[in-house]
Amino acid sequence: MQLSASHHDERLTAPRSWWAIAVLVGLAGALIMLPLGAAPALAGLVVGAALAGVLVSSYGSARVRVVGGKLAAGEASIPVTALGDPEVLDAEEARAWRTHKADPRAYMLMRSYVPTAVRIPVTDPADPTPYVYLSTREPAALVAALKAAQQAA
């Protein structure tokens, strides 16, 4: 969701199929507990589905935001003045930067179910991180927000 030219807020939610898998984990828990009776089977269903749902929800809670002159991505918060010119990566280029082009020193917020990404060089000489790689469903909007925030800074 884009708020204004220099604001961007996106949550990298897990795909619906992962929620279906969480339900299947609950069903597996129920089947495992079924020989012990109906009540343990129901408990296995609820506990299994709840635990799998928590895992899916926590993995899908990553956010990418540009607000207040900072890029906030996952646990990282970087001033836009310490960032270079962002680059939109299509699905093929994003895959390359996740694999054979990747630098182990880079900050990477990757989600395999999001095909596109943005790569932003880190220009701060005191920071050993060469670039920031961010999975995003809205790469053009993220780049526009970063550039607007950099111009405003």
Give the residue carrying structure tokens 């526009």.
144
pLDDT band of 115, cuts 50, 70, 90: very high
Distance CA 87, CA 121 (A): 9
Q: Would you say 147 and 86 are in contact if contact means Cβ atoms under 8 Å apart?
A: yes
Sign of CA dihedral 125, 62, 9, 110: positive
Instruction: Report the domain count for the chain.
Output: 1
Domain presence at residue 84: yes
Distance CA 122, CA 73 (A): 14
Strands 87-89 and 117-121: antiparallel
Q: Which amino acid, one-letter code, is at 20?
A: A
Domain presence at residue 34: no
Domain presence at residue 41: no
pTM equals: 0.82
Domain presence at residue 96: yes
Domain presence at residue 133: yes
Model pLDDT, residue 1: 46
Parent domain of 137: 78-152
pLDDT band of 4, cuts 50, 70, 90: low
| Mean pLDDT computed over 148-152 | 89
Domain presence at residue 85: yes
Question: What secondary structure letter does DSSP report for 82?
Answer: G
Domain presence at residue 23: no
pLDDT beyond 90 at 41: yes
Least trusted range by pLDDT, from 18-27, 56-65, 78-87: 56-65
Domain presence at residue 40: no
Q: How much of the chain, in percent, has pLDDT values that exceed 90?
A: 78
